[in-house]
Structure 1
Amino acid sequence: MPSWPEHVMWWHVYPLGFVGAPIRDGEGPDAEIVHRLDRLDPWLDHVIELGLNGLLLGPVFASETHGYDTVDHLRIDPRLGDDGDLDRLLGGARARGIRVLFDGVFNHVGRAHPAFRTATEDGPQLFRGRWVDGRFEAEVFEGHGALVALDHSSPAVADLVVDVMCHWLERGIDGWRLDAAYAVPPEFWAAVLPRVRERFPEAWFVGEVIHGDGPAIVRASTMDSLTQYELWQGIWHGIADGNLFELSHAIERHDELLATFAPQTFVGNHDVTRIASAIGSDLVPHALAVLFTVAGTPSVYAGDEFGWTGVKEEREGGDDAVRPEFPASAAEVGEVDERILEAHLALIALRRRKPWLWRAHTDVVEVANAAIVLRTAVGNDAVVVALNIGDEAASVPSADARTVVTGDGTLADGRIELGPRGWAVLEG
Structure 2
Amino acid sequence: MSEPDWVTHAIWWHLYPLGFVGAHPADPPPGPDEHRLRRIVDWLDYARDLGTSGIALGPVFASQTHGYDTTDHYRIDGRLGDDGDFDHLITEAHARGLRVLLDGVFNHVGTDFPRYRDAVAGGDTSWFRVRRGEFATFEGHGGLIALDHRNPEVVDYVVDVMCHWLGRGADGWRLDAAYAMPDRFWAQVLPRVREQFPDAWFVGEVIHGDYVARVTESGFDSVTQYELWKAIWSSLNDANLHELDWALKRHNDFLDTFVPMTFIGNHDVTRIASQLDNPDHVDHALVILMTTGGTPSIYAGDEVAYRGVKEERFGGDDAVRPEFGSPLDGVGEHGHQVLRAHQHLIGLRRRHPWLHTARTAPLQLTNTGYVYASRAGEDTLLVALNVADEPLPVSLQEHGFGAAEVVAGSGAPPAETFTETVVPPHGWLVLAPR
Which bracket does the TM-score occupy, shorter chain normalised?
Answer: over 0.9
Secondary structure of 2:246's partner? Answer: helix
Aligned with 2:20 (options 18, 21, 42):
18
Greater shift in the superposed pair: 285-294 or 16-25: 16-25
* Partner in structure 2 of residue 263 of structure 1: 260
2:8 and 2:330 mapped to 1: Cα distance? 31
Separation of aligned partners in 1, 2:421 and 2:46 = 34
DSSP-derived class of the 1:410 partner: coil
Q: Comparing 254-263 with 375-384, which one deviates more in the overlay? A: 375-384
Instruction: Give 1:316's aligned residue.
Output: 314
1:338 to partner: Cα distance: 2.3
State the distance in 2 between where 1:227 and 1:356 align.
20
Structure 1 residue ranges (4+ consecutive) displaced by more than 6 angstroms after TM superposition: none
Q: Deviations over 1:335-359 (max 9, x none)?
A: 3522211111111111101111111
State the partner residue of 2:169. 172
Pairwise mapping of residues 123-272 of structure 1 onto structure 2 (< 5 A)?
123=124, 125-130=126-131, 132=133, 137-272=134-269
The residue number in structure 2 matching 1:109 is 109
The 8 Å contact of residues 363 and 376 in structure 1, kept in 2 or not, is answered as yes
Contact 1:108 1:141 (C-alpha < 8 Å) held by counterparts: yes
Q: CA deviation at 1:334?
A: 3.5
TM-score by length of 1: 0.95
Q: Which residue of 2 aligns with 1:76?
A: 76
Q: Which residue of 2 aligns with 1:425?
A: 430
Please list the CA deviations of residues 58-115 of structure 1 after superposition, one character each: whole Å capped at 9, or x if unmatched.
0000101000000000100111111111111100001011000000000001111111
Partners of 2:366 and 2:236 in 1: CA distance: 12
For 1:29-40, list aligned pairs within 5 A. Answer: 33-40=33-40
Supply the distance in 1 between the matched residues of 2:103 and 2:52 (Cα, whole angstroms). Answer: 19
Report the counterpart of residue 340 of structure 1 in structure 2.
338
Distance across 1 between alignment mates of 2:8 and 2:395: 30
Please say if residues 116 and 125 of structure 2, whose CA atoms lie closer than 8 Å, have aligned partners that are also in contact. Answer: no
User: Matched residues in 2 for 1:226 and 1:406: separation?
Assistant: 29
Query: C-alpha displacement at 1:55, in angstroms?
Result: 0.5
**Compared CA separation, residues 113 and 397, structure 1 to 2 (3 A):** farther
- What TM-score, normalized to structure 2? 0.94
Query: Displacement, 1:364?
Result: 1.0
- Is the contact between residue 306 and residue 338 of structure 1 (CA under 8 Å) also seen in structure 2? yes
Q: 1:389, 1:239 → 2: CA distance?
A: 7
SS at match of 1:395: strand
Percent identity of paired positions between Structure 1 and Structure 2: 56
Change (3 A) 1:152 1:225: same
- Matching of residues 290-301 of structure 1 within 5 Å: 290-301=288-299
Q: 1:125 to 1:25 in 2, by over 3 A?
A: farther
**C-alpha displacement at 1:201, in angstroms?**
0.6
2:406 equivalent to 1:404:
yes
Per-residue deviation at 1:196?
Answer: 0.4
Q: Shift of residue 130 of structure 1?
A: 3.9
5+ long unaligned stretches in structure 2: none
Pairwise CA RMSD of aligned residues?
A: 1.7
CA deviation map 1:266-291 (0-9, x unaligned) = 00000000111111321101011100
Amino acid at match of 2:432: E
Q: CA deviation at 1:366?
A: 1.1
Amino acid aligned to 1:420: P
Amino acid at match of 2:309: V
Structure 1: gaps of 5 or more residues? none
Contact 1:327 1:333 in 2 (8 A): no
